[in-house]
Amino acid sequence: MKAKGGAISAALAVRLDSAVSGRFFHAAIISGGSEAQRELVSEALSAAAVCLAQSGRPCMSCAGCRKAEEGIHPDILHLRVPDGKSTIPVNSVRDSLRELALKPGEAPRRALVIHSAELLGVPGQNVLLATLEEPPGDVLFLLLAENERALLETVRSRCAILRLGAAEQKGGDELPNQAREILSAYRALINSRGTRGRAEGRCELLAAVYRLNKLKGSQIIEIASALRRECVREMVEAERLGRDARAFAGMERAAAEAIELAGSNVNAGHIGGRLTAALIEAADRFS
């Protein structure tokens, strides 16, 4: 999941759609949800920033994505509250920005992930603001904050806002947790409306599917099989109520492909990328 350059106004208009399609906004605030959710979204977007594929980023199979997943990519920088401190020192912000002034070493662009961005403090935010006003074209800024309103309005106005909601607990207790999260995010996406709603829905879906990257093939098969069963239930219920069931038919096909790939020992990251793309395509076509 990641983002890249482009004019601020256009980036705000397309938000996460830019990241999914390969066009990137230059800065985003990831807020709401849990800390783990925010971290997952930032990991996915950072991987997309350094992905070497021409499309379908993050592909999770190129050298850039693999290094991002392992946390060793030299073009992904992190800014955190230092041990023993309660805020992010302004000098740390300046040091990170100086490093970003260098050209990427391996990737098409670099990413700076600012954890607990609400702890930057006013001086640190003002230093960052000067760069956000004239951002480098090859840098993606990701600010993680529980509540974006803790940041200065001038900072917020120069970033895309990706708000994460609490995951719904639908789908039945028999579903594995990962399957429930994917199903919940997919439901939210197909029911979303407007540019912001679609972008936030894609963001949550990407974060949910991204968890598959850490799993074994047998676990992916279990999760995808559970998704197929739930899709069949949804389609039967939709037919009974006279509703359009094509979105869940698309999800069922995507889950079936994931099972086939997992059975062929395909890389989990590649499976996750294919599943995400197929689900977004189905949601766009049938909702």
- 103 and 199 part of one domain: no
- 125 and 83 part of one domain: yes
- 111 and 87 part of one domain: yes
In angstroms, the first-to-last Cα distance of the chain is 22
- Name the more confident of 136 and 4: 136
Domain boundary among 166, 200, 221: 166
- 120 and 261 part of one domain: no
Q: Please compute the mean of the pLDDT values over residues 188-193 and round it to a whole number.
A: 87
Residue 89: which residues within 8 A CB-CB, separation 6 or more? Answer: 82, 124
Domain boundary among 131, 166, 201: 166
- 107 and 11 part of one domain: yes
- 151 and 189 part of one domain: no
Distance of CA 55 to the CA centre of its chain: 16
Interval 18-70: pLDDT, tens: 443 444 578 989 988 788 888 888 888 888 889 888 766 777 788 998 899 88
Counted residue by residue, the chain has a size of 287
- 3 and 132 part of one domain: yes
Domain boundary among 106, 138, 166: 166
Split into its structural domains, the chain has a count of: 2
- 215 and 118 part of one domain: no
Residue 153: φ, ψ to 5°: -60, -35
Instruction: Note the pLDDT of residue 125.
Output: 93
Domain that holds residue 256: 167-287
Percent of the chain residues topping a pLDDT of 70: 87
Q: Please compute the mean of the pLDDT values over residues 192-207 and round it to a whole number.
A: 81
- 199 and 102 part of one domain: no
- Name the more confident of 204 and 142: 142
Distance CA 198, CA 194 (A): 6
- 277 and 191 part of one domain: yes
